[in-house]
Amino acid sequence: MPKIDLAAIPQTNATGYPPEYADVVRGRWYRRLAPAGGLADYGVSHVTLKPGGWSAQRHWHEGEDEFVVMLSGHAVLVDDAGRTPMGPGDCAAFPKNDGNGHCLVNESDADCSYIAVGRPAQSDCHYPDIDMHLDATRGRQVRKDGSEF
Which residues contribute to the site for a copy of itself (CB under 8 A)? 1-4, 6, 33-34, 36-42, 44, 46, 64-65, 67, 69, 71-72, 77, 79, 81, 84, 86, 88-96, 98, 100, 102, 113, 115, 117-119
Minimum CB separation from a copy of itself for residue 15, in Å? Answer: 22
Report residue 33: phi and psi, to 5°. -90, -25
70, β-bridge pairs: 114
61, β-bridge pairs: 125
Minimum CB separation from a copy of itself for residue 90, in Å? Answer: 6
Minimum CB separation from a copy of itself for residue 103, in Å? Answer: 11
Nearer to a copy of itself, 19 or 89 (CB): 89
Minimum CB separation from a copy of itself for residue 14, in Å? Answer: 21
Look up residue 113 and give its amino acid: S
Nearer to a copy of itself, 7 or 146 (CB): 7
Minimum CB separation from a copy of itself for residue 33, in Å? Answer: 6
Nearer to a copy of itself, 76 or 142 (CB): 76
Distance CA(77)–CA(85), nearest Å, equals: 6
Nearer to a copy of itself, 18 or 128 (CB): 128
Distance CA(44)–CA(39), nearest Å, equals: 9
Q: Which residues contact 54 (CB under 8 A, 6 or more apart)?
A: 24, 25, 27, 28, 103, 104, 105, 106
Distance CA(78)–CA(104), nearest Å, equals: 6
